[in-house]
Chains A and B, each alone.
Chain A
Amino acid sequence: MVIPVQGRLRRRISASLLLAMSLTSIGALGARVVGSISGYIHLENPVWVESKDPKSRSYTFREMVPTVPAQYRKLSPYIPKEVAIGLFGTEAQKPGAPITVRVGGGRTTPVMLVAPPGTKIVFHNVDSFEHRLYGVGMKEFGPSNTGRGAKREWTIPAAGTFEIRDELAPSLRMWVRGEPNLMEATYPNAKGEYSFQNVAPGEYEVQAFFSGEKVGPAARVKLANRDVGVPPIVVATPKKDGEKSD
């Protein structure tokens, strides 16, 4: 899934295709930047982690299913919605077209959003019941009801990280990152592969974001008239004391 800053929705393409195309020259439309992230299995969705704590009183019972291997029992995020990949230029960018964020199913889509300050965000409630979104610590985005099918707008006020929550759905948390130099943002597929299409020649940085923060190192990319492959970005590593699945 790609959330284009310029307002165009682009399809995600597979890694194999991207790699093959990176070796061929493209026309005047620009080149592609393809890459992948790894180590995301070691990321933890903070909402889910909080929920599994017995002190949160989120359940009366929670038991693992023994036939599911431990590696799959880690509460890693669903990266197509929760890890954003940003392509950064060397100069500040103007705000693009409004970005629509779906609110439903216990979260927003996407969960992590990166955009230049001044970009308008449109929250669209696709649930059949009300939501009451608000920005944490933001007076200009206080709690307000958004009915079924209704929309609510908010503009990223400045550079920085902003957290959006819902008074009527405590597990709903979204992070918006205001990045002035952001050229474009996209999301990886379930395997961690991503791509930026029609990128003009130049020097760029690729950075991954999760839960409002940068994850992994920034990858430098120098793009001419041909597609470029970005070395895999390791967004997380195993904890030193060993990770536990639950």
Chain B
Amino acid sequence: MLLSRFWYAIIGIALGASLFLLSLAASIHNRAMRRVLGEGLSADSQVVSAVLKDDARTRAAHLIKFAVDGTIAKALNQASQSTGKIDPGHRDTIEKALKKISQDIPPDQAFDAVFAVDRGGRIIGAIGNVSTHGTEEPELGGHPVVADALHGFVRDDTLVWGRLHRIVARPVELEAGGAPAGAVIGARIIDDKFARELSARSGAAIAFYVSGSRTAAAAPEGFPKTSLDQIVTDLDKVTQDPDYLEKGRSGIREIGSDLAVQYTRLPGEAYSLGAGYAVGRVSTPVTSIFGFLDAADDKDKESVSWPLVLGVAFGALALGLIMSFLEHTVPLRKFAREATALATGKVDHLQPSKFRGVYRRIASDLNDGIDKLAAAQGGVSRKAADLGQVLGDLPATPQMAAFAVPDSGPADSAPATTVPISALSTQRNLPTPPSRNLPNPPSRGKPVQSEEDWPGVFEQFVQTKIQCGENVEGFTYERFRETLIRNREALVQQHGAQEVRFAVYVKDGRAALKASPVRS
């Protein structure tokens, strides 16, 4: 029973430990996932930023083709000489040149619109999607990016002309060393197509936004692009992020249950208009200890060491069964065999010493029951009276007395359970009686017991105590002898007996001595 109970405790502790480890693993997994996710998103954001810059530089390089075109430069210079109505001839000349040059630009780097402006910023010619500007003396000269170009700089910008536009501009020179004749400006609308190109180059899921609305989005294959729509619900909150406001890039933000994003403000005039882009990644947090099952894919499951898992499981099962067999099945079968022997008459009583634990008590109780039934039906009892019959010359009541030896437990008035001494084994180290030649222990047929027989009685008594699981440390023959002398004298005086005979027996599972006065 002890092993089984110990095993149950181990199983319980192991189960609790497993749950603890699972909870711990989930927490560690989520923390690690957030860290990796954060690093990934930061990398995505920086890559997108670099790609945007590279894209602007590439487009600015394409503007050189316009800037060095003599036809455009000459027309712009002439237009700049006048502040009156724009000469249609200049417009036609410039727009033809713009169209011709645009055809040489690769489609993925082409502009949605190209403008040529004079020194005053007036649009002298334009091609592409130019509907964003009015037709009444259209100009672009107020924008810092255009002003910079008119003052000899090439740069980029992000403007909100109703929609988000990436802008690059550079000066147009008629001759080196002179003031720029004007400038050429290339515009690229930030739409889904632009986002797709950017996503393809950066590998990131990206969404652009301005004024609280998502304006364009694209994501690599396998990424749920529609999940990027969720950023709209978060745009108001991100403006409270100190990092976003001061550094232009937010921390990692989790939207919903499976999306993590990082916001970056777009450079340019759009920066102060709250325009930016968000890069997103799908997060897979483990929300419960069983969440690993949902989060694991087939590859994860294949990597599990199934032999180890099954080995531990079946090993634990086998160990439990073995313990159960040893502690439950074996004693039960043994008891069953003894009970069968009792039932078939091979034995007239059970021997409790053959059993352990509760079976020993059951055997004793059965024996008591059998005795009571036998006595009730006129049979022979195996109580103290039986010993008297065996020993003979037993005085009538109260010529018998049972007493307990000190440290061997109090004797009470409950019916004694007798155990044949022969059933007791003597396999253990015992307190030793005096080293002298002692007579054999008193036999049941011996009528008179002298003091010389007491060492044998002592030895029997100690063996019985050990069998009964009692402590025999400090239990000496001298103490035993004093007790016997004291009881013998009391009985001799009380009953006028010539001698008192002592016998060892088991009472309520404890060793005890029975004293029988002998008159003659």
Contacts and interface: CB of A to CB of B under 8 A. Distances in A.
B152 A127 contact: no
B180 interface: yes
A16 interface: no
Interface in A93-145: 102, 104-109, 111, 126-130
A52 B178 CA distance: 22
Interface string B225-258: 0000000000000000000000010000000000
A65 B152 contact: yes
Interface in A31-81: 45, 47-48, 51-52, 56-65, 67-69, 72-76, 78, 80-81
Given A73-B152, A104-B134, A104-B138, A47 B144 contact: yes
A75 B146 CA distance: 11
A22 interface: no
Interface in B467-502: none
Contacts of B139: 104-105, 109
Contact of B180 (A1, A72, A111, A170): A72
Interface string B169-193: 0110100111110000000000000
Given A60-B267, A62-B153, A72-B152, A45 B133 contact: no
Contact of A128 (B49, B131, B141, B160): B131
A189 interface: yes
A72 B137 CA distance: 25
B134 A68 contact: no
Contacts, number: 164
Contacts of B154: 62-65
B395 to A, nearest CB: 119
Contacts of B53: 60-61
Given A72-B180, A148-B134, A105 B147 contact: no
Task: Tell me whether chain A's interface is mostly helix, strand or loop, or mixed.
Answer: loop
B83 A1 contact: yes
Interface stretch (B268-276, B419-427, B458-466): B268-276
Contacts of A111: 142
A61 B269 contact: no
Given A60-B52, A105-B121, A189-B83, A126 B271 contact: no
Interface residues of A, number: 52
Contacts of B519: none
A169 B161 CA distance: 9
B225 to A, nearest CB: 26
Nearest to B120: A78
A190 interface: yes
A59 B145 contact: yes
Contacts of A58: 144-145, 157, 267-269, 271
B268 A45 contact: no
Interface in B65-117: 83
B176 A67 contact: yes
A91 to B, nearest CB: 33
25 contacts: A51-B144, A57-B248, A58-B267, A58-B268, A58-B271, A59-B155, A59-B157, A59-B268, A63-B154, A63-B155, A68-B152, A68-B180, A69-B152, A69-B178, A69-B179, A73-B152, A81-B141, A102-B136, A104-B136, A105-B133, A105-B140, A105-B142, A127-B132, A127-B134, A171-B269
Interface of B: 49, 52-53, 56-57, 60, 83, 119-121, 123, 131-134, 136-148, 151-157, 160-162, 170-171, 173, 176-180, 248, 265, 267-269, 271-273
A-B residue pairs, 3 tightest by C-beta = A107-B142, A106-B142, A68-B152
